[in-house]
Structure 1
Amino acid sequence: MPSGNSYTLIPMTSFVIEYYSNEGYADLQTLKTMINYAQFLKKQLAIEMFVPVDRDGNVLKMPHHLKSKSLYDDGDVKSDDVHDDIKSSDEEKIYNKAQEKCFFKGFEVAYNGYSVIRILASYDHSIELSFNKIDSTFQSLTDIESLAGAGFEIYLSRTALKAIGIKSRS
């Protein structure tokens, strides 16, 4: 999943030290990026930061068509997996658009119950988060900063990098 071109979520102190040491000086753009990262860390955690959701906040299931593609290295879909092209295309567009809004890469729904959603990092199943549907909160985590301090290796999406002001390496 993650490659050498991935950025991970880190605490603010580490971000300032690493960013400043790579840039070598603090110009206006560097300071703006640091402010953007601080604001990013203060955002309240929401399920849509991890997995695609619809307009009402309901978790979207990955369209079967996309699952099929991911099962085969060549991306070819086997004939028995092909759905109605129009329906698959619409589902795929909705899912992809919602996925583009996620801040963190590689999360999947492990359990979606009446009151709780449990998500796992597909690249490390020891990273497990529980989301309470009733009060829209994560168990023991409140904002992105608390997630950064939890010691998990969480990968940032292009959307997150754009919000921070970092150009994606890939």
Structure 2
Amino acid sequence: MSERLKPGDTAPAFTLPDADGNEVSLADHAGRKTIVYFYPAALTPGCTKQACDFTDNLDVLAAAGYDVIGVSPDKPEKLAKFREKESLKVTLVGDPSKAVLEEYGAFGEKKMYGKTVTGVIRSTIVVDEKGKVEHAWYNVRATGHVAKLLKDLKIES
């Protein structure tokens, strides 16, 4: 199981394909705060709710100086379907090898319906302008997470 990130840690660099197969790197966002959120699977109810919440608040987050990147183990084709079906505006990238998920501590053992399973741990990491972890939340809930995030980051919606 990978280590969880803590505030002050250097955020692991990554370059992953987006829904169109274009490469998206964390380095592309240097100089801006970036919210990197990890979710289990595109086109599932909880992940859809969370992605829609991020899309609905994208303008508010952007105005406050934040970019948003959603990471799942899905392939670009599935991400494209997800984006089209739900009219998502948030940048979605795929990590089928789960290497980035593991580097961020967002893949490992978790409880699901009372059983211990291995999978994606729904997590949100806020990376500052210099590439350092500013906040790290693990085992977040899909519903209501973006509202809580806005409150924790003191962003008026």
Taking structure 2 as the reference length, what is the TM-score of the superposition?
Answer: 0.27
Which structure shows the bigger proportion of residues in strand conformation? 2
Larger radius of gyration: 1
Taking structure 1 as the reference length, what is the TM-score of the superposition?
Answer: 0.26
Which structure shows the bigger proportion of residues in helix conformation? 1
